[in-house]
């Protein structure tokens, strides 16, 4: 493990056992994600992508194995520490956007900075700056439902990045978008990755998205089934 490793996962196994019938969603994965990567986890539906991302982000606990985030073992962290760690180090983009429906775009983006206790003036500057970058500054005062899907997902990207996390995790960020919008969103994300050096890890089974990734990890039946760089695809 080196200090450029954002994520290190060792022997991660996740077995769901809610219903009495054990479901082996992740069956032993070793994985390292380095700083500045722009990596897609691909695989068919049900292959364990979401489960794996949730475990990596500390949203779910692995049945077996260990995960280090920026060198810290997450199983060592208390609930509160983990909350604070996510707040300060991980940005999330969800498939269903999941913006807070009662807050404006600006307030949605501001939210994490509010948790961090950043002063109002700085919050405002940073919100407007990131909204510029994702191209929806003019919609700052709107409610999420007044925006198109693509615009909402751009707002979600802004929300994920505004607190300057070391890692942005996105689970099928384009699954609800048409191909043209998907392409544009991914281009924008990749541009931000190049400009800021922020690390991106996202899952997809969408070819348009895969093609824009710089590295690809293939998951099948809860196991890594191959790695590739974008040129190889």
Partner 1 sequence: MTMIGGFFLSSLSIGWMDGSYGSIIMFFTNNRTGQIQVHHKGYLEDPSIYSTIGGYQTVGAFLDSIPEVRVWAPRIYSGALLAVRPRGAGSGNVFSNSAAASVIGIDPAMEEAATDFSDRIVNGEMLTASAADTSYAAAGQIILGRELSIILDASVGDSLVMLSQAADGSSADRKYVIRGIVSSGNADIDRNTCYITLSDAQILFALQGKVHEIAVMTHSLGRVDELTGEISAGLSGKDLETDSWKTFAKEFYNGMKADEVQLKIMIFVIVLVAAMGVLNTILMMVLERRREFGVMKALGTRPGFIVRMVVLEANIMGAISVIAGAILSTSGLLFLSKHGLVMDPPLNYGGTVFREMIASITPECYWIPAICVFITASTVSFLPALKAAHTKAAKTLRAV
Ligand X SMILES: Nc1ncnc2c1ncn2[C@@H]1O[C@H](COP(=O)(O)OP(=O)(O)O)[C@@H](O)[C@H]1O
Q: Is 57 in the site for ligand X (CB under 6 A)?
A: no
Closest CA relative to residue 115, chosen from 142, 90, 143: 90
Binders in 26-65 for partner 1, by CB under 8 A: 50, 54, 57, 59-60
CB 157 within 8 A of CB 169: no
CB closer to Mg ion, 13 vs 128: 13
Binders in 142-181 for partner 1, by CB under 8 A: 159
CB 174 within 8 A of CB 208: yes
Stretch that binds Mg ion, among 43-51, 114-122, 136-144, 216-224 (CB under 5 A): 43-51
The strand pair at 38-42 and 215-220 is best described as parallel
Q: Is 51 in the site for Mg ion (CB under 5 A)?
A: no
Q: Is 86 in the site for partner 1 (CB under 8 A)?
A: yes
Closest CA relative to residue 53, chosen from 160, 175, 170: 170
Reduced to 3 states (helix: H, G, I; strand: E, B; else coil), residue 200 is strand
Q: 43 touches which of Mg ion, partner 1, ligand X, none (CB within 5 to 8 A by kind)? A: ligand X
Q: 8 pairs with which residues across the strands?
A: 32, 68
Q: Is 201 in the site for partner 1 (CB under 8 A)?
A: no
Q: Is 181 in the site for ligand X (CB under 6 A)?
A: no
Q: Which of 6, 37, 38, 47 binds ligand X (CB under 6 A)?
A: 47
CB 201 within 8 A of CB 56: yes
Other CB atoms within 10 Å distance of the CB of residue 28:
15
Stretch that binds ligand X, among 47-55, 101-109, 178-186, 223-231 (CB under 6 A): 47-55
Q: Please give the residue ranges that form the binding site for ligand X (CB under 6 A).
A: 16, 18, 23, 25, 43, 45-51
């Amino acid at each position: 493990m080196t200090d450029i490793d954002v994520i290190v996962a060792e022997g991660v196994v996740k077995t769901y056992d809610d219903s009495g019938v054990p479901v082996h969603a992740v069956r032993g994965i070793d994985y390292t994600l380095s700083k500045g990567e722009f990596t897609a986890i691909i695989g068919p539906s049900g292959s364990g992508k979401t489960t794996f991302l949730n475990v990596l982000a500390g949203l779910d606990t692995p049945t077996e194995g260990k995960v280090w985030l920026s060198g810290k073992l997450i199983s060592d962290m208390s609930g509160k520490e983990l909350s604070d760690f996510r707040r300060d180090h991980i940005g999330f983009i969800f498939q269903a956007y999941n913006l807070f429906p009662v807050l404006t775009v600006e307030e949605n983006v501001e939210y994490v900075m509010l948790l961090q206790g950043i002063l109002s003036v700085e919050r405002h500057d940073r919100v407007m700056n990131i909204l510029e970058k994702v191209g929806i500054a003019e919609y700052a005062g709107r409610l999420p439902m007044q925006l198109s899907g693509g615009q909402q997902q751009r707002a979600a990207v802004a929300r994920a990045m505004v607190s300057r996390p070391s890692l942005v995790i996105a689970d099928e960020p384009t699954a609800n978008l048409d191909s043209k919008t998907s392409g544009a969103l991914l281009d924008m994300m990749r541009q931000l990755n190049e400009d800021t050096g922020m690390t991106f890890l996202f899952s997809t089974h969408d070819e348009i998205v895969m093609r824009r990734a710089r590295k690809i990890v293939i998951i099948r039946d809860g196991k890594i089934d191959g790695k590739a760089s974008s040129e190889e695809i």
